[in-house]
A and B are shown apart, each in its own frame.
Chain A
C-alpha cells in the first residue's frame, strides 16, 4: 500500500521513471511527467523521439520495461487498456468501417451498457459537439478524412474518458483542414474540460494548442514548459533549434557578474541572464530568435548592434528570411516582414535587445 497521498492538487496523471527500449533503441529513458486535470499537454518531438510510445504506454497498448503510470494516484500498470477509461485518437482515424457514424460514436457506450435513450441523447450531443449533427446514419467510408477524424473524436469522448490520448491525429489531413481541426480540438478540449495528451511532430500545432509542452529527445525530456517558455527561453541547443528560426550562436564568456554572464561576439560585449546555468569562461552558446534580430536600417534603433555580412534572402510569403554571416564566421537567420526593401548582399548591420539573448546550458 504505497499510495501517494491524495490532495486536491494531486496530478491526474503521473508518469514515473518510464523506460522502454526496442532492441538497442531507447525510446523512453527514465521519463517522468506530471499532468494536471484539464490540461492540454503535448509531446513534441521528431520521429523516434519516443512520443508515441509514451502515449501508448499510458494507453496500455505497450508496456514499459521499467517505471510506472498512475492515474489519480493509482498505479495502472496491471490494468488492461479497456479498463483504464482512457480514450484515444489515432493518426489513421481507425473508425470502424462496417459501422455507420452513430454506431461508431455509441460503441463505447454500448460496451458500458448505457440504456438506449440515454445513449441516443449522448450520441446526439457529441455529433453536435464535433459538427456532424444529422450525419448519424452516414457510412463512415463515404466521409472525408476530416469528417472521419471528427467521428473518431466523438467516439473517444462519448464515454467521458479521464484522459484523451491523441496520437498525431491531424498528420494525415490536408493543411487547410488541419488548421481548422486545430481550432476545433482546442475549443472542444476547453468546453469539455477533458485532459488531452497530444502527440505531434508539428511545432506550430504544439505551440498553438498546448497549455504545456514537453520536447522529447531520444526518450528524454529536453524541456517542459508553456509554449512561450519553450519557444522564447529554450534550455538547450536542441530545443532552440527545434523551432524554425531558432539561432544558436557561439560567443565568448568573459565571466559572471551577479546573475548575469558577460559575453562577447566580435567586438560587441554585453550581459545575458544566467537562468541557472554556470558557464565557464571561454566559448559558450546563446540562442536568439530570428524575428528578434533587426537588419539594415531597423537595426539602428537597437541597443546592441553588430557588423555582419548579408549572404542571401529567402521569400517566405508573409515573411522573409535573411542569411547573415556573423563576426567569427557563424551563421544566423534574420526574419523580417516581407515588405522590407531589398537589401544588397555584403556588409550590413544587425541589431537586437540583450533580453532576447538566451544563455544555453549545452
Chain B
C-alpha cells in the first residue's frame, strides 16, 4: 500500500510538472530572449536590459501602450456595468435562458467575423475609427465574461436579504445599494479586472476598427507581420506577460480577501 501511494504521488507530481511545462514553458522563451544581449538563447548568453531601455524610448510603443491602457480601463468600467444590468434583468424577467444566451453568444462568433462585421457596421453608421470604436469592440468581447462572473456571484446571493431590507423600509434602489451590492462587490471587481485584461489582450477585433490608432497588441502583431521579430518586441511581450500575471494575482487576491460564500 505504501508503495502504491508513493507511485501515485510520483505520477501525480510528474503529471503536474508536465502540465505546467506545457502551459507555461512557451512563455519563458520571450522572457529569456528579451534579457539576452545577442537576442538569442544560447550557451554563452549574457544578461542585458538594453532591449527594455530601447522599448521605453520607442514612442510608438509608448503611445500604443497608452491606448491599450485607456481602452482596457474604459472596458473594465463599462462591461461590468452592462453585465450587472443584464444580470439584474435575469431576476426580473421570465426569459432567463434567453437573456443568458443573448449575452454569451458573442463569445462564439469568430473574432475576424466579429471584427469585420463591427467595422462594416460602424462604417454604415458613419462612425469614424477612434478610441471609442476600439472600446466598443472590446466591450462586446469582454461582456460575456463579465456577465458570467457577475451572474455566478449573484446566484449565490440570497434574495431574502432584499426582502428584509424592503420590510425595513428600503426601496428597491436603496436595498440594492445597502444590501446586495456589498455582497456581490467582489464579483463585480473581479469582472472589472477580468474585462480589463481581456480588453488589454484583444487583438484581431481591435485591428479591424482601430483606424490610425494602435494598441500594444496590434502594434506587436503588425510589427511582427511587417518587420519580423526583434529582441525589443520580445521585451514588450515579456513585459505584457508579467503585467497580466500581476493583474490576475490581484484579482485572485481580491476574491480571496472577501469570499462570496460569506453571504449566504
A239 CB within 8 Å of chain B? no
By size class, the interface of chain A is 20 to 34
CB-CB nearest in chain B for A60: B166
B171: A residues at CB distance < 8 A: 80, 82
Interface pair B169/A82, CB less than 8 Å apart:
yes
CB-CB nearest in chain A for B185: A98
Interface pair B183/A98, CB less than 8 Å apart:
yes
Interface pair A96/B163, CB less than 8 Å apart:
no
Chain B contributes a number of interface residues (CB within 8 A of A) equal to: 21
How many whole Å from A170's CB to the nearest CB in chain B? 17
A86 CB within 8 Å of chain B? yes
A141 CB within 8 Å of chain B? yes
CB-CB nearest in chain B for A97: B263
B70 CB within 8 Å of chain A? no
Interface pair A141/B262, CB less than 8 Å apart:
yes
Interface pair B164/A96, CB less than 8 Å apart:
yes
Select which of B158, B168, B175 is within 8 A of A155 by beta carbon.
Answer: B168
Interface pair A61/B163, CB less than 8 Å apart:
yes
How many whole Å from A287's CB to the nearest CB in chain B? 39
Interface pair B169/A112, CB less than 8 Å apart:
yes
Interface pair A61/B166, CB less than 8 Å apart:
yes
Chain A 146-198 residues near chain B, CB threshold 8 A: 152, 155-156, 159, 165
B160 CB within 8 Å of chain A? yes
Against A, the Cβ 8 Å flags (1 = close, 0 = not) of B166-188 are 11111100110011001100000
Q: Tally of A-B residue pairs with Cβ under 8 A?
A: 71
B161 CB within 8 Å of chain A? yes
A80: B residues at CB distance < 8 A: 166, 171
B161: A residues at CB distance < 8 A: 94, 96-97
Residue of A94, A112, A141 with most chain B CB atoms under a 10 A cut-off: A94
Interface pair A97/B169, CB less than 8 Å apart:
no
Query: What is the bound-complex CA distance between A159 and B168, given in angstroms?
Result: 8
A156: B residues at CB distance < 8 A: 167-168
Interface pair B167/A92, CB less than 8 Å apart:
no
How many whole Å from B94's CB to the nearest CB in chain A? 14
A152: B residues at CB distance < 8 A: 164
B167: A residues at CB distance < 8 A: 59, 61, 81-82, 86-88, 156, 165
B168: A residues at CB distance < 8 A: 82, 87, 107-108, 111, 155-156, 159
Query: What is the bound-complex CA distance between A175 and B158, given in angstroms?
Result: 26
Against A, the Cβ 8 Å flags (1 = close, 0 = not) of B141-176 are 000000000000000001011011111111100110
B264 CB within 8 Å of chain A? yes
Interface pair A94/B163, CB less than 8 Å apart:
yes
How many whole Å from A158's CB to the nearest CB in chain B? 8
How many whole Å from A336's CB to the nearest CB in chain B? 45
A90 CB within 8 Å of chain B? yes
How many whole Å from A86's CB to the nearest CB in chain B? 7
Interface pair A97/B262, CB less than 8 Å apart:
yes
Query: What is the bound-complex CA distance between A156 and B169, given in angstroms?
Result: 10
A61: B residues at CB distance < 8 A: 163, 166-167
CB-CB nearest in chain A for B263: A97
Against B, the Cβ 8 Å flags (1 = close, 0 = not) of A60-88 are 11000000000000000000111101111
Query: What is the bound-complex CA distance between A133 and B79, given in angstroms?
Result: 46
A92: B residues at CB distance < 8 A: 158, 160
Query: What is the bound-complex CA distance between A124 and B158, given in angstroms?
Result: 29
Query: What is the bound-complex CA distance between A111 and B170, given in angstroms?
Result: 6
A94: B residues at CB distance < 8 A: 158, 160-161, 163-164
CB-CB nearest in chain A for B183: A98
How many whole Å from A286's CB to the nearest CB in chain B? 44
Query: What is the bound-complex CA distance between A159 and B158, given in angstroms?
Result: 24
CB-CB nearest in chain A for B179: A96
Chain A 84-121 residues near chain B, CB threshold 8 A: 85-88, 90, 92, 94-98, 107-108, 111-112
Query: What is the bound-complex CA distance between A82 and B262, given in angstroms?
Result: 26
Interface pair A97/B264, CB less than 8 Å apart:
yes
Query: What is the bound-complex CA distance between A304 and B171, given in angstroms?
Result: 63
Query: What is the bound-complex CA distance between A80 and B179, given in angstroms?
Result: 18
How many whole Å from B203's CB to the nearest CB in chain A? 40
B179: A residues at CB distance < 8 A: 96
- 8 interchain pairs, CB-CB under 8 A: A60-B166, A80-B171, A87-B167, A88-B167, A90-B160, A94-B163, A94-B164, A111-B174
Nearest first, the 6 A-B pairs at minimum CB distance are A88-B167, A108-B168, A94-B164, A81-B166, A111-B169, A98-B182
Q: Report which B residues bind A (CB closer than 8 A).
A: 158, 160-161, 163-171, 174-175, 178-179, 182-183, 262-264
